[in-house]
Chain A
Amino acid sequence: MNVFQDILIFVVVAPGAVFAAFALLWLLGWTPSERLLSRATGLTFSASTAGVAALIWKITSASSITVAFGSWFAVGNYHFPLVLMVDRLSIPFLALAAVLSGLIGQFSATYLHRESGFLRFFLLLYLFAFGSLLAFAAGSFDLLAAGWEIVGITSVLLIGFFERRPAPVENGLYVFGIYRACDIGLLVGIFAMHHWAGTASFGSAFPNLIGRQTVIVCLLLLLAASGKAAQVPFSGWLPRAMEGPTPSSAIFYGAISIHAGAYLLLRAQPLLAQSVLASSLVVLIGAATAIHGTIVGRASADAKTSLAYATLTQVGVVFIEIGLGWRWLAVAHILGNATVRTMQYLRAPSMLHDYHQMHSAIGGELSPTGKQIEEMLPERIQLWLYRWALDRGHLDTMIERWVIAPLSQTSTYLSRRERTRAPSPTTIRPGRAVEVSTAGPAERSH
């Protein structure tokens, strides 16, 4: 194993190891100080960034760096390959994740100073960095799925960061539901690759699928990618995710998590190239999302939601580029979009201050930017579009009406059927029940 392989292992494992150490010590009763946490963050991500820089230097002369640990677990002919791999596709994403995690960590040390969830935020940031680095450095779809799931759960937990308000918590639950539903595509897609091709690895052992198999796998991966990248019809979760703290919105929905879907499709590009149907669908979904994002974004009233839809529009365009096979244009587009949006998100809380500064610098208010494109439409259509944009394209309403409501009604119906045949739990509960808000001291009964 050469030094660059060691560096690759370090880059991926370091945030996970720091997370595990702090989490375990906290679980056993110790709470680290803010200063220790921010210093550890700076040190970890500086080292990771230096490691990524070394990997970039190496990648200029080698096509890829691979570290094979064998199998995570193996049963019969099936094995879960534990292979890390960086190539020219994954290295920009790896760099983005390492650099932005460090920057967000430093920004948050001040931004969340004395916030009650300071430790929680940093633990989740470490876990997120580990998940995203694992996903981008994975040598197979199997390992990518593991990192993908970790990114998903940290994303959801950070949406509900301000847990005292019900809205962030409920929105986190909604996002979790969308993620889990779409991740079925990834799990079944990986199974299909193993089943038909005997492998789900990247590189030379890329799954060799034919005909209908390719279409099915591509469609399953597209489902997963669309969910993670908030593409139509799953776009409704993105504005809900803005409930989280601004630094996490910046790194998740401005940079890394929102582009993970595009990365999955870039990885699956050899398969997509074989299927006109799947490629066309990618273009179609990307175009629909870009149009949806730009229209809805124009009717958004707050800064973070406007930025979310601006990001979404660009991710839609990235999907179009991937569908058309313009791989490197898509990568460049992602890098530009991610860095600009991260900066914009981090400046969003200071937006008014920035405007005041600009106004005082120019000695008055900024003049209007000019004519908006929608003003060219007839007034009736403008009004309809405005209503449509205010309800965010009715996407949430459709999911609510056609998926959530039927499931909920079925569940309620089953519950009623069950209850009618059994005594109510309130009549059978032991007499010492205590109302939550008036419960006595814990140690009395303990």
Chain B
Amino acid sequence: MLPGWALHTSFLTSAAMSAPWLGVAVITAFRRQDRALGCIATLLSILASTALVWRAPNGESLYPTLMLLFSSLTLGAILLLPRRDAETGTIAGILVLMGSTLLAYSTGDLLVLLGAWILSIVPFLWAGWFRSRTWRPMVGLLSSSLAISLAVGFMVARTGVSSISHLKGQSPGGLVAFSLLIVAAVFRKGIIPAQAWVADAAESGPLVPTALFLNGHFGALLVVKLIVPLFPETDHLFPVLSYLAIATAIFVAIRALAENSPRRLLAFLALSQSACILSGLESRTAEGITGALVHWVVVTVSTVGLFGILRLLEVRFGENLSASRHLGLAEHAPRLAVSFAILGLALVGLPGTLGFCSQDLLIHGTLTTHPLTGLLLPIATAMNAVSFFRLFTRLFLGKRRTGFTVMADALPRERWVLAGIVLFVVFGGLFPNATVIEHSSEVDVVDQTIRTIDNLNRDKGYSSTNIQRPNPNATPIAVREVDAAEQRPMGVHR
């Protein structure tokens, strides 16, 4: 039996966060068995995060769940990495990314959040790691970091307090800090007008680490963790963020229609779909917020899988893949093709996948709050579906290309990871109640904040919220079950 301290929340949080940093230290010191060491580090984080989710009180499992999700995805990403990419630097960089992301999810301190934010971009600024070959990603990331640094500095200087819970509802730093935080979220999330860096990062940087980086969703985290709880007085400005998010979703969806670079196209799809998260969070309805949180999970899982498959295809068939003609890769790699199709269709809301539930809730939530602009959301999703299907048909269908060996389909190691991811989105879609209701209890977090806002606003003579209370009877979360399935013993490695 485990001693009591081993199950204490602070110990588990420390264990989940320190495992990747320990992994970085060991990998850089030994420089051998990088993939295995990376897997061990992420497994330790997964175990600690699972215990955290298990022990979290009802309504407080959002961040442990996100930690579990991100650490599980990191494990999947490390296993999916082709041998060509699984170098010491890449694995160490991925672990740095994971360590900083978990730190950002779990912290309740402004300065620690700022540190995690900056640490997460370090691998993407350093030429030896994941730095992009174009200027936009660096400018985007530095701008977001500068904005959040100024915002945090301003808030701490004005109040002398760095604890987020102590600053709740106090609008620390006023409109200046609020604006800086919005700027930071806009740059980090790739919201219009700062959307171009995301595609550049995906195209000219390392694919799998970039996918993990984008799916940390630090922009959305900033909204949930700081902007909504800390700034009730600027309540009337929140819709601006929603309008920007919806504009991003539709703009990027149109932009993707004529894109032929698979990397850029996937980045646009991921960006357009993840922009919906912000509009859902801002919708101030239980459906919208729950839809946004479930969509967060769907986008994260699907896009990491899609980027991973694309990288596997590049390694097998060459890095100049293009959607301008049919490549007929399905005959060489049918299982990669099917996994790609399922994950892509889940991303755009195919029934039977978790994406259908999240889209349904998001559309209901957003249309309730913004009947006209909300209409753009299903239109953007429809365009994304067409773009994704075009990419799928161009990559996988068409006349068979010659010159490949028969060993092009998913290897056992990759097959088990992809099967786990596919099972997650499918079983999540078939039995969404567990996932959705569990996340509904997390709506309480945002709900309480909005109630505070409403109380303040009512004192001033106006009220705008129409939030509905979720079902409080939380059930065991599906994420746990499927992540456990992902941790099954792997198949034989080549």
A residues lining the B interface (CB < 8 Å): 23-24, 27-29, 71-78, 80, 142, 145-147, 149-150, 153, 156, 160, 163-166, 169-170, 172-173, 176-177, 180-181, 183-184, 187-188, 191, 194-195, 407-408, 410-412, 414-415, 418, 421-423, 425, 428-430, 432-439, 441-443, 445-446
Does A74 lie within 8 Å of B367, measured CB to CB?
no
The 6 closest A-B CB pairs, nearest first, are A76-B468, A76-B286, A434-B318, A411-B258, A146-B351, A163-B397
A149/B350 in contact, CB under 8 A: yes
B406 CB to nearest A CB, Å:
9
For the complex, what is the distance from the CA of A410 to the CA of B411, rounded to whole Å? 41
- Over the window 298-335 of chain B, the binary record of Cβ atoms lying under 8 Å from chain A Cβ atoms (1 yes, 0 no) is 00000000000000000111111100001110100001
Shortest beta-carbon distance from A416 to chain B in Å: 10
- Given the interface pairs A76-B287, A146-B356, the reply to whether A442 lies near B415 with Cβ below 8 Å is no
CB closest chain-B residue, reference A78: B287
Question: Which B residue's beta carbon lies closest to that of A72?
Answer: B432
Given contacts A428-B204, A434-B318, contact A173 B390 (CB under 8 A): yes
Are B470 and A429 touching (Cβ within 8 A)?
no
Measured CA separation A29–B327 after assembly (Å): 23
Nearest B residue to A422 by beta-carbon distance? Answer: B134
Query: Could you say which of B318, B328, B363 has the most chain A C-beta atoms within 10 Å of its C-beta?
Result: B318
Interface residues in B, total, Cβ within 8 A: 91
CB of A74 within 8 A of CB of B255, answer no
Flag if B82 contacts A188 (CB, 8 Å): no
Interchain CB contact under 8 A, B415 and A415: no
Which of A78, A191, A446 is the one whose CB lies under 8 Å from B494? A446
What residues of chain A lie closer than 8 Å to B291, measured between beta carbons? 75
Known A-B contacts A422-B136, A433-B318, A442-B316; the reply to A74 vs B471 at CB < 8 A is: yes
Q: Once the chains bind, are B317 and A439 in contact (CB under 8 Å)? A: yes
Q: How far is the CA of A80 from the CA of B204 in the complex (A)?
A: 42
Chain A, interface SS category: helix
Question: Can you offer 29 A-B residue contacts whose CB atoms are under 8 A?
Answer: A23-B338, A73-B436, A74-B436, A75-B440, A75-B470, A76-B285, A76-B468, A76-B469, A80-B360, A146-B356, A150-B352, A153-B350, A163-B397, A169-B393, A169-B397, A173-B389, A173-B390, A181-B382, A184-B379, A187-B363, A194-B364, A195-B364, A414-B251, A428-B134, A429-B204, A436-B321, A439-B318, A439-B403, A445-B316
Interface pair A173/B367, CB less than 8 Å apart? no
B401 at the interface (CB under 8 A from A): yes
Is B182 an interface residue, CB under 8 A from the partner? no
Residue numbers in A under 8 Å from B327 (CB-CB): 436
Q: Decide if B287 touches A176 in the complex (CB within 8 Å).
A: no
Bound complex: CA A23 to CA B337 (Å): 13
> Does any Cβ of A come within 8 Å of B375's Cβ?
yes
Residue of B nearest to A415 (CB): B258
- The answer to whether A446 touches B82, judged by C-beta atoms less than 8 angstroms apart, is yes
Measured CB to CB, the nearest residue on chain B to A185 is: B378
A156 & B389 in contact (Cβ 8 Å cutoff): yes
B411's partner among A24, A166, A446 (CB-CB below 8 A) is A446
Q: Is the CB of B367 within 8 A of A188?
A: yes
How long is the Cα–Cα vector from A110 to B437 in the complex, in angstroms?
Answer: 47
Chain B positions 434 through 475: 1 when the CB is less than 8 Å from some CB of chain A, otherwise 0: 001100100100000000000000000000000111110000
B352 contacts which chain A residues (CB < 8 A)?
146, 150
Q: A425-B204, A446-B315 are in contact. Are A407 and B257 (CB under 8 A)?
A: yes
Q: How far is the CA of A407 from the CA of B384 in the complex (A)?
A: 13
Q: Is B422 an interface residue (CB 8 A)?
A: yes
